[in-house]
């Protein structure tokens, strides 16, 4: 990473929840909030994760305040149960009294009534006596630090923005509630004042496939002398799903340096550089499949490729279907693979992969097919075909591309990387035809 000069607006994130701390739930909020802050030009100092104990939450708040951040964003701990203590802790940290907000309480009550009214199982809870008890149990969520701005709930938990040095934004834990609330929170006067010193950045993402990290590193070293203004670019690279993501942040006056760097990468790695606007291979394949019908035949990936192709809305326009032919019998019976072919070459072989793709075309009446057969491990490998050996066959009107690769990693890695390879083979075959 190449760092720019420090910016004056700095922030920290506190992710709360014992289930997150212990790894039972993966943190999605910290990285998501971090991206939003970086988009705004706010420097992120720390992301911390702590359990639900009030003392631990307060310790994180005091730590970040000691780091001189202008803004703290918390997630989680806004529910009605005894372990939901974030608002109370933030109020104490900010030295503000907790007050019952009658308007907020009424909003929560109305939300509860709507939720229960939709489910016949909860009809009895709407009886006046029973509902009053429920109302009292949820009253905790309407307790707000004095002087804080309340953020309307998306679920039942409202968020709050507490002005101060630092300002604290308190958001719910579920991402489906936190993300819609974020935009309102960051636009509040207190939040805007806290990040007033931010630097305006541009952020661009390039995606590459088939390029070793060492190859990119060598090009970036050369760029230090070949690209005027290179030192003004903050570059972060990440290997994900067998691809390299390169994110570059820069101030507007460094736009020419970024353009020159992109030109250099295009000249040296044009075949591997497949996206200059951040588009994923999944996006590009979806566009290329317009007007086509694709079928899949999978062995070691067991339907992961079909799941990836159908992960986006509208995929029914081009996905015809898929077959998981894990056993040799399934390859024969479902895809029409000749048993003699398997006997002669083995199930993990290019001839069998081609036969699987041809069988998928026939079975679904498609014009495009992808077949994957391999050894994901941990067992099943041989000297000739070690674990990680995967055969691919992609066929379309423009031709067929069949190849064998040895993919690194454990069973999960091999399966996931196989879907990525298949997507790129598909992208190249369909892209070359256009």
Q: Which CATH number does the domain housing residue 255 bear?
A: 3.30.70.2860
**Per-residue CA distances from 170 to 14, 90, 167, 187, 189 (Å):** 9, 8, 10, 14, 15
Residue 137 has pLDDT above 90, yes or no: no
Answer yes or no: do 309 and 427 share one domain.
yes
Query: Starting at the edge strand that comes first in sequence, how are the strands of the sheet with 149-151 ordered?
Result: 43-50, 10-16, 71-75, 167-171, 159-162, 149-151
Answer yes or no: do 151 and 298 share one domain.
no
Residue 159 has pLDDT above 60, yes or no: yes
Q: Does residue 3 lie in a domain region? A: no
Choose one of 155, 173, 194: the last residue of a domain. Answer: 194
For the chain, the distance separating the N- and C-terminal CA atoms, rounded to the nearest angstrom, is 37
Answer yes or no: do 303 and 272 share one domain.
no
> ∠223-228-230 over CA atoms, to 5°?
55
Q: Does residue 1 lie in a domain region? A: no
pLDDT of residue 299: 98
Alpha-helical (H) ranges within 23-151 are 29-39, 54-66, 86-93, 102-117, 128-137
Answer yes or no: do 139 and 88 share one domain.
yes
pLDDT of residue 131: 56
Answer yes or no: do 245 and 189 share one domain.
no
Instruction: Compute the average pLDDT of residues 55-73.
Output: 98
Instruction: Compute the average pLDDT of residues 140-148.
Output: 94
Answer yes or no: do 332 and 238 share one domain.
no
Instruction: Compute the average pLDDT of residues 29-53.
Output: 95
pLDDT of residue 432: 81
Instruction: Compute the average pLDDT of residues 247-269.
Output: 96
Answer yes or no: do 178 and 215 share one domain.
no
Residue 384 has pLDDT above 80, yes or no: yes
DSSP 329-383: HHHHHHH---HHHHHHH-SSSHHHHHHHHHHHHHHHT-SEEEEEEE--SSS---S
Instruction: Compute the average pLDDT of residues 211-234.
Output: 97
Answer yes or no: do 317 and 361 share one domain.
yes
Instruction: Compute the average pLDDT of residues 87-93.
Output: 98
Beta bridge partners of 80: none
Answer yes or no: do 296 and 246 share one domain.
no
Answer yes or no: do 272 and 303 share one domain.
no
Q: Does residue 4 lie in a domain region? A: no
| pTM across the whole model | 0.81
Q: Structurally, how many domains does the chain consist of? A: 3
Q: Does residue 5 lie in a domain region? A: no
How far is residue 206 CA from its own chain's centroid? 16
How far apart are the C-alpha atoms of 143 and 370, rounded to whole Å?
56
Choose one of 226, 260, 278: the last residue of a domain. Answer: 278
Question: Mean pLDDT of all residues in the chain?
Answer: 93
Lowest mean pLDDT among 6-10, 102-106, 206-210, 287-291: 6-10
Q: Does residue 341 lie in a domain region? A: yes
Q: Does residue 167 lie in a domain region? A: yes
Answer yes or no: do 27 and 64 share one domain.
yes
Domain range for 366 is: 282-433
How long a stretch of residues is the chain? 434
Confidence of residue 119 (pLDDT cuts 50, 70, 90): low
Answer yes or no: do 367 and 428 share one domain.
yes
Neighbours of 401 (CB within 10 A): 17
């Amino acid at each position: 990473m190449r760092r720019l000069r420090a910016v004056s607006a700095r922030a920290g994130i506190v992710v709360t929840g014992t289930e997150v701390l212990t790894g039972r739930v993966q943190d999605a909020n910290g990285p998501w909030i971090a991206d939003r802050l970086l988009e705004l030009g706010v420097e992120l100092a720390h992301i911390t994760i702590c359990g639900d104990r009030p003392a631990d939450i307060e310790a994180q708040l005091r730590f970040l305040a000691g780091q001189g951040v202008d803004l703290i964003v918390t997630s989680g701990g806004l529910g009605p149960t005894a372990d939901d203590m974030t608002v109370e802790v933030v109020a104490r940290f900010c030295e503000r009294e907790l007050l019952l907000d009658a308007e907020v309480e009424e909003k929560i009550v109305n939300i509860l009534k709507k939720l229960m009214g939709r489910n016949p199982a909860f009809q009895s809870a709407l009886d006046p006596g029973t509902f009053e008890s429920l109302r009292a149990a949820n009253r905790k969520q309407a307790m707000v630090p004095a002087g804080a701005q309340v953020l309307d709930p998306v679920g039942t938990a409202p968020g709050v923005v507490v002005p101060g040095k630092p300002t604290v934004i308190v958001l719910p834990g579920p991402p489906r509630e936190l993300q819609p609330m974020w935009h309102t929170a960051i636009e509040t006067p207190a939040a805007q004042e806290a990040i007033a010193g931010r630097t305006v950045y541009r952020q661009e993402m390039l995606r590459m496939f088939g390029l070793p990290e060492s190859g990119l590193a060598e090009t970036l070293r050369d760029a230090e002398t070949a690209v005027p203004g290179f030192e003004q670019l903050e570059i972060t690279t990440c290997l994900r799903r067998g691809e390299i993501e390169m994110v570059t942040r820069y101030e507007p006056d460094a736009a020419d340096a970024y353009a020159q760097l992109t030109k250099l990468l295009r000249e040296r790695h044009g075949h591997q550089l497949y996206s200059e606007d951040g588009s994923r291979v999944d996006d590009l394949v979806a566009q290329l499949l317009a007007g086509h019908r694709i079928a899949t035949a999978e062995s070691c990936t067991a339907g992961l490729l079909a799941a990836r192709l159908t992960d986006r809305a509208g995929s029914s326009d081009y996905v015809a279907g898929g077959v998981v032919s894990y056993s040799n019998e399934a390859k024969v019976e479902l895809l029409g693979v000749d048993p003699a072919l398997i006997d002669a070459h083995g199930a993990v072989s290019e001839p069998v992969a081609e036969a699987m793709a041809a069988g998928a075309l026939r079975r679904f009446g498609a014009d495009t097919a992808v077949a994957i057969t391999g050894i994901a491990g941990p067992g099943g490998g041989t000297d000739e075909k070690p674990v990680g050996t995967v055969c691919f066959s992609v066929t379309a009107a423009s031709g067929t591309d069949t190849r064998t690769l040895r993919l690194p990693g454990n069973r999960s890695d091999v399966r996931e990387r196989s879907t990525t390879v298949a997507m790129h083979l598909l992208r190249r075959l369909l892209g070359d035809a256009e």
